[in-house]
Structure 1
């Protein structure tokens, strides 16, 4: 199986950093092509992302040519044939053609080669097995062009074998389908993922996190995740119940608000009903500190927003800040069903930060020292009492109202502590 097509709209092949790398590596008996995702995206007319290059030249020859040309070269994976060339601040991974001689998970033993067909056949999916040369000719040895046209994600060769080589390909199958496929996932690949699901337990949390966060924001995420749930693949990933309804509702609410897709917001909708869920998912995926904090905040008593009036919403916005308020509100909205009869009210709550800015708490430590409160822990306590009272009073800024709040807080503190 071999097919070629000319990529007509690819100015980056004629000039610029990528063209310079291809020119450097072509000639004197060697050939270089752009491979993988950049070719796929160029054919689909979407942004390229990283541009990876394959070459018949051995790593030592790649390094030699780069040094002669004055191009920065980083040996990022030279034992496996990969070096990174940096041209005009753009990094390009350059990998010598390879073929697997033994496979055992991610640690396949490879030999360098010069056969473009064998190199393509060792990749994961047909739409990632394409390459394009400096002249714009797309080379297809695995049926990727037809699958791009059909918007179909298929493993190259035997799906079970591809998965056994790296079980992360189970998650990649659904992530790629969410991004580039339509309809039901490829049947053979789907069944192979089910057969190989025990292998998910061998994957590092960091690799699982990377794939799942990408999947969550893909265009077809809801369909792909439902297929994973039907196949029993979400429980091994998250270790708990998942909620397809709130996930779909979160997508609808984001669109209603004109918000860009958020992986963490969508993760909360899919997995979090209470803060214990947030802690489990954060640990299981080893989320970053910021991601874990966001997930935990979203799960904290989100249900109170379902019956929140404007006054309570303002107090919460003041306490949380705009971003955390919006995220928790979006989770409550999603769990309430998303866009529907109650959407106008949820929309009003979600746009509160654009309509109202919380004033700054007007009282300071000096206001209570002058009322006889000693410096130390007592001062922090009375300040907290005063802030609560100020919020409950509706954020008054009139000097007499502020003084009354301070007097009441100081008196309450004195009464409680018998000063």
Structure 2
């Protein structure tokens, strides 16, 4: 063992079915293959990993040839850059030939395939992302990633400003990885380079910014990272408006009290939505999906009318109209901006309503009103809506007599 190596105690990553097959196929006959990147980092931290990427000295054509011999399907997803996706039992694995930069200019780089693991590691963004794991269980580190991982330090490889100039998205990736893996004070050189290069953020596509921001907001230390971005003067330019940092911090504490998972869109609303115009601005600036926009729009709709003293009947009516997800969205937003704290028992009771009360189905249909003599047409739809409103106002009665009375009243009012 050297200072640049460490044996991985948990072999789950190496015994993962698809990865094991690919390593056996490529790590032989004069070629070498290793697991690289985030999966290695997370395995060392004891955290789950979702994707396994593999690097190899084998050229793309050789990867494809060996895959065919092993009856594995290969997809040339980025073969000009050395990447082939192999499918093992339906699961995709990206396999990339080692590369080294010949010339770099902005996001584009002229690269050449190589066989030098150090040169390949030095192309990556952060030291903790440049670790590689060989089939014998040894983690190889060429850039100080193991020490940084132990210290929970997010640090660029080489000169931070130069790495950012290669791709300005790395500014957001720095804050995202700091939110996910960092502890303590951020790396000073990295933070300074991010601030110096902030103008480059304006040239990024909205889709790329959206992806990084939503990942950041789900991270365990999102509050600390968002605060750091604000202090660095970066967040306002990304969101295009005010960030409500104190309320955002309370919101994450409320999630803990409620046992709620970190929902990126819900957190985005807590951070940056006050009125409906905010939801529309974020939709445009981050190119959110229509469904994401609708959730933010729903959060903005009169959240200030919800308070800890909300009557149980009114809470049930809100849950019925919004459904469990949007009910939680709006309730938690109002709670985070209320005078009460995250442990307030009244808010907790309101938040627990979806678990205690199953929203009923409206028991009337158009046919019920037609059977009472109301003809088809606009009046029928209006009467049905009015009947539903009356049923909600009566606190969702299930008694047939009460339901019949509601139907009769609606028909009487709308009959010509």
Q: TM-score, normalised by structure 1?
A: 0.94
Q: Tell me if the contact between 2:253 and 2:342 (Cα under 8 Å) persists in the aligned partners.
A: no
The 2-side partners of 1:95 and 1:2 are apart by: 26
Q: Tell me if the contact between 1:256 and 1:339 (Cα under 8 Å) persists in the aligned partners.
A: no
Deviation at 1:158, TM superposition (A): 0.5
Alignment gaps of 5+ in structure 2: none
The range that moved more, 22-31 or 166-175, is 22-31
Question: Partner residue of 1:309?
Answer: 311
Question: Partner residue of 1:375?
Answer: 376
The 1-side partners of 2:146 and 2:360 are apart by: 58
The 1-side partners of 2:16 and 2:281 are apart by: 49
Deviation at 1:311, TM superposition (A): 1.7
Q: Tell me if the contact between 2:250 and 2:342 (Cα under 8 Å) persists in the aligned partners.
A: no
The 1-side partners of 2:179 and 2:188 are apart by: 15
Select which of 313, 321, 324 maps to 1:322: 324
Q: TM-score, normalised by structure 2?
A: 0.94
Q: Tell me if the contact between 2:55 and 2:95 (Cα under 8 Å) persists in the aligned partners.
A: yes
- What is the DSSP-based 3-state SS (H/G/I as helix, E as strand, rest coil) of the residue aligned with 2:86? strand
Question: Partner residue of 1:51?
Answer: 52
> Aligned runs of 1:399-410 on 2, under 5 Å?
399-410=400-411
> Aligned runs of 1:249-288 on 2, under 5 Å?
249-288=250-289
Q: CA offsets, 1:269-322, max 9 Å, x none? A: 011111211121122212222222212112111111125321211111111122
Question: Partner residue of 2:223?
Answer: 222
> Aligned runs of 1:383-402 on 2, under 5 Å?
383-402=384-403
Deviation at 1:146, TM superposition (A): 0.6
Q: Tell me if the contact between 1:98 and 1:111 (Cα under 8 Å) persists in the aligned partners.
A: yes
Select which of 307, 318, 331 maps to 2:333: 331
Pair 1:394–1:105, CA change in 2 (3 A):
same
Residue 185 of structure 2 corresponds to residue 181 of structure 1? no
The 1-side partners of 2:327 and 2:64 are apart by: 51
> Aligned runs of 1:53-132 on 2, under 5 Å?
53-132=54-133
The 2-side partners of 1:354 and 1:231 are apart by: 41
Pair 1:7–1:394, CA change in 2 (3 A):
closer
Residue 149 of structure 2 corresponds to residue 136 of structure 1? no
Q: Tell me if the contact between 1:249 and 1:337 (Cα under 8 Å) persists in the aligned partners.
A: no
Deviation at 1:142, TM superposition (A): 0.4
Alignment gaps of 5+ in structure 1: none
Q: CA offsets, 1:152-205, max 9 Å, x none? A: 000000101111111111111011011111012111101111111111111111
Pair 1:8–1:348, CA change in 2 (3 A):
closer
Question: Partner residue of 1:203?
Answer: 204
Q: Tell me if the contact between 2:102 and 2:111 (Cα under 8 Å) persists in the aligned partners.
A: yes
Deviation at 1:145, TM superposition (A): 0.7
Pair 1:340–1:52, CA change in 2 (3 A):
closer
Q: Tell me if the contact between 2:254 and 2:342 (Cα under 8 Å) persists in the aligned partners.
A: no
Q: CA offsets, 1:57-78, max 9 Å, x none? A: 1111111111122221111100
Deviation at 1:103, TM superposition (A): 2.1
Q: Tell me if the contact between 1:246 and 1:337 (Cα under 8 Å) persists in the aligned partners.
A: no
Deviation at 1:375, TM superposition (A): 0.3
The range that moved more, 87-96 or 397-406, is 397-406
Q: Tell me if the contact between 1:246 and 1:338 (Cα under 8 Å) persists in the aligned partners.
A: no
> For the aligned residues, what is the CA RMSD?
1.9
The 2-side partners of 1:142 and 1:338 are apart by: 48
The 1-side partners of 2:193 and 2:265 are apart by: 29
The 2-side partners of 1:348 and 1:237 are apart by: 36
The 1-side partners of 2:97 and 2:134 are apart by: 15
Pair 1:142–1:114, CA change in 2 (3 A):
same
Question: Partner residue of 2:162?
Answer: 161
Deviation at 1:363, TM superposition (A): 2.8
Question: Partner residue of 1:212?
Answer: 213
The 2-side partners of 1:408 and 1:13 are apart by: 69
Q: CA offsets, 1:318-364, max 9 Å, x none? A: 111222212211111122267346x2111111111222233332333
